[in-house]
Amino acid sequence: MTVRVAVVGAGGQVGAALVRALAGHAVLAWTRADFDLEDFRRGCDLIRASRPQIVILCAALVDVQRAERESDLAFRVNAIAPAIIARASREISARFVYISTDYVFDGDGGAPYDEWATTRPLSVYGRSKRAGEVETLSAHPESLVVRTSSVFGGPGRNFVNAIRQVALSGRNPRVVADEVSSPTYADDLANAISALLAATLGGVFHLTNEGECSRYELARAAIELSGIAANVDPITTAQFRRENPDSAPRPRHSALANLRARAVGVTLPPWRDALTRHLCTPAS
């Protein structure tokens, strides 16, 4: 059945992937020019006028360093706006999807976090996203909250593309080797979200590609699979923070376990397979 889906933040890597994944539906692809989270009341008017059956909020303030500097803005964009948009969606009986992050965890557990693990964010960004989860579910209890991690995909800004650009410039990237997460390909994430929507599921779900690796391992894989003649120089988190004392705190081990998704038959391929497909995409 074709449904009317509004993708807020369609210009970003996850939003663009969702527009592709939902191509069989009537998709309203709203970019920042159409729907700015800093003017969320205008955005809510757009929702009421367009009356989508599903609203997927991909837009957010994701710059971790900027969030530290502008905490009020981070909470306004990542928590207050989503709650108001969720409420507007509920008013028109539309389902609502909020994209969240592994940064809601402190990374001290030493093992992948499942959906029931205690949240303890370290940074302003993580706290603002956790607040967004709580406020969204309060405003629209049937919302789908999707936590994901280390997203890459498309030609835009992401860790994988940044590492490749450094290597292509003739420099060896220096990358932290003791921070571990679950890399996620935007196209695989979008397909998994589409599957959860088709099953009319709500609540908190973790969606990442299978497996985990350090940022250093991900950087090495990206360069090797790209065929670039460059090395990656590993550094520690402690060394990085000495060199960048104003850097926001990040979780050391924030890999996610997709237990709820797996229980309903929604799985994502291994991260290295996903990375290979990303690097084989012409626009990457």
State both tokens at 70.
């502008």
Q: Is pLDDT at 283 greater than 80 in this prediction? A: no
Active-site pick, 103, 113, 125, 185: 125
Q: Give me the residue label for tokens 């900027």.
A: 66
Share of the chain above pLDDT 70, in %: 99
Range of lowest pLDDT (34-38, 137-141, 181-185): 34-38
Report residue 203: phi and psi, to 5°: 90, -165
Residue type, 212: E
pTM of the shown model: 0.94
Q: Is pLDDT at 89 greater than 90 in this prediction? A: yes
4-156+182-211+254-269 belongs to which homologous superfamily? NAD(P)-binding Rossmann-like Domain (3.40.50.720)
Widest Cα–Cα separation across the chain? 55
Residue 36: the pLDDT is 87
Q: Are 56 and 5 in contact (CB under 8 A)?
A: yes
Q: Give me the residue label for tokens 């450094």.
A: 166
Residue type, 229: A
Residue 131: the pLDDT is 98
Active site residue 125: yes
Buried-exposed string 116-139: b where 16+ CB fall within 10 A, e elsewhere: eeebebbbbbbbbbbbbbebbbeb
Q: Are 212 and 181 in contact (CB under 8 A)?
A: yes
Most confident range (mean pLDDT) of 117-126, 165-174, 230-239 is: 117-126
Return the SS3 of 138: helix
Annotated domain spans of the chain: 4-156+182-211+254-269
State both tokens at 231.
């090395």
Residue 246: the pLDDT is 86
Residue 109: the pLDDT is 86
* Mean residue pLDDT across the chain: 93
- 174-187 mean pLDDT: 95
Q: Is pLDDT at 284 greater than 90 in this prediction? A: no
**Confidence bin at 282 (pLDDT 50/70/90):** low
Ramachandran region, residue 153 (left: φ > 0; alpha: ψ -120 to 50; beta: rest)? left
For residue 19, what is the enclosing H or E element? helix 13-21
Q: Are 204 and 147 in contact (CB under 8 A)?
A: yes
**Confidence bin at 214 (pLDDT 50/70/90):** very high
State both tokens at 183.
């890399």
For residue 168, what is the enclosing H or E element? helix 159-168
